[in-house]
Structure 1
């Protein structure tokens, strides 16, 4: 495995590579770091020499962490069950709460990205044509999502939506009575021994639940190990089993749980995936956890896949 990884890194087929941690049976078996230009959610950081203690954007792997936080909050009685109405969690939007066309929306529709609302993240994440960027530019992040036009019945089709994760983050923060990052530090990061992290905020001053978390790769791998271990005493096991079972099909070889991708090919996997080559790969049957970070933001290059393929022997 290590020989394959090193050959990929020497060959130049993963030019955006920044970091890799591989764990098997709970032990770190490979750890590699690179160098190159990097960004903090769009803010240029210049050339960075990466090492074990360097924080890195997780981009949309953040969503998968939010899925874990929702389960913790649910176990503490701070947030509603997935079947609860979604719009009613934001009672200040009385016009939306009273809209019969949105009454069928549930928290589970946000967890599974099946809201049926108009949403398009196909444009670069530097353009207001991208719905996530438009959300961050709007006066009210949560209202922006909830008032999107209804384009199809909720629950029928998976459609990628960072706004769904933003709503979940908002519900968690409201239920906990504190900022999302403070709650995460208390119930997830510190119990895992994670002492260094950043959670980038948007223009509203709220942590970006869709893409703002920054961790060290070694700590991202620790999150993956937690998932592999069934949540231990940190994430309720019953929640994790529900979150990591297929709820909706995406495409050939992929299904979706509660903010987690589920690989259904010959090698079953649970994955968090983020723009630019951020990957958290968990293979339960093999006791394998792989955390990869890269700098291929908004690019066609895919350094992370080249490295991950080397790890798993694809």
Structure 2
């Protein structure tokens, strides 16, 4: 693997690659760090020499971590089951609860990104016309999401929506009785031995459940190992196994034909079933159950139309070749 990756880096075939960590059966089989310009939520960091301890934006990989956290707090009975009415969890908006089209929404519709609400996130993330950016700028992020125009019945079609994740993050924080990042430290990061992380927040001080997490690739790979082990880490249950199995069950199809569970993608890569978390710029966490393999990829190709190419090349032509 190392020789294949080195040759591809030399040939310029993995543009913008910042780091790769692949762990198979608990053993690191590939680790690579590069150099290049990087950004954190649009803030230029200059040219960075990446090292094992360097934190990296995970962007929307954060969404999949939020789904893991929902399972841990659900196990304690502190958040509603997926089938529960969604609007009922936000009693501060009685006017929205009075609209019949919205009362059909459930927590599961948020988990599967099938709310049926208008949400445009294909617009560049440096524009306030992008719905996620508009949500971050809104005085009340949860109301912003829940009051979007209803355009179709919920549960029928997957439609990418960072607002759905924001709602889940709000439910986690409310149920746990502490901010999302604080709960994540106790429920997930400390049990996995993850000591260094950042969870960026909006101007309102609320951690972005959709895109705010920064981790080193080694620690991201640990989360993949946790999924492989159905929620166990070093013999200790961290996330309920039943939730992991439920979370990675395909429920809807994405626009490009992949399966989608609870905030995780179900793909086929190089003929292998892969459970995937994906983020803007080429961030990936790939879990390959039949190989007992977890692969973390971080890259700096933010907002580019072919940002998928570098992580896919690493997976297809290096790790799974």
Q: Under a length normalisation based on structure 1, what TM-score does the superposition of the two structures give?
A: 0.98
Question: 2:296 & 2:121 partners in 1: Cα distance?
Answer: 24
Question: 1:118, 1:149 within 8 Å by CA — same for their partners in 2?
Answer: yes
Q: For residue 81 of structure 1, what is the aligned residue in structure 2? A: 81
Question: 1:251 & 1:88 partners in 2: Cα distance?
Answer: 30
Question: 1:12 & 1:300 partners in 2: Cα distance?
Answer: 18
Question: 2:302 & 2:51 partners in 1: Cα distance?
Answer: 20
Q: Under a length normalisation based on structure 2, what TM-score does the superposition of the two structures give?
A: 0.95
Superposed displacement of residue 305, structure 1: 2.2
Q: For residue 267 of structure 1, what is the aligned residue in structure 2? A: 272
The runs of 5 or more residues in structure 1 that have no matched partner are: none
Deviations 1:260-292 (A, max 9, x none): 000146310100000000000010011111100
Deviations 1:157-215 (A, max 9, x none): 00000000000000000000100000000000000000000000012110000000000
Question: 1:264 & 1:67 partners in 2: Cα distance?
Answer: 21
Question: 1:39 & 1:88 partners in 2: Cα distance?
Answer: 38
Question: 2:318 & 2:86 partners in 1: Cα distance?
Answer: 40
Question: 1:46 & 1:54 partners in 2: Cα distance?
Answer: 14
Q: How does 1:238-257 map to 2 (within 5 A)?
A: 238-251=242-255, 253-257=257-261
The runs of 5 or more residues in structure 2 that have no matched partner are: none
Q: For residue 209 of structure 1, what is the aligned residue in structure 2? A: 209
Question: 1:110, 1:167 within 8 Å by CA — same for their partners in 2?
Answer: yes
- Aligned to 1:262, what secondary structure does the other structure show? strand
Q: For residue 284 of structure 1, what is the aligned residue in structure 2? A: 289
Q: For residue 258 of structure 1, what is the aligned residue in structure 2? A: 262
Superposed displacement of residue 251, structure 1: 4.5
Question: 2:158, 2:255 within 8 Å by CA — same for their partners in 1?
Answer: no
Q: Any runs of at least 4 consecutive aligned residues in structure 1 with deviations exceeding 3 A, and if so which? A: none
Aligned pair 1:98/2:101, yes or no?
no
Superposed displacement of residue 120, structure 1: 0.8
Superposed displacement of residue 300, structure 1: 2.6
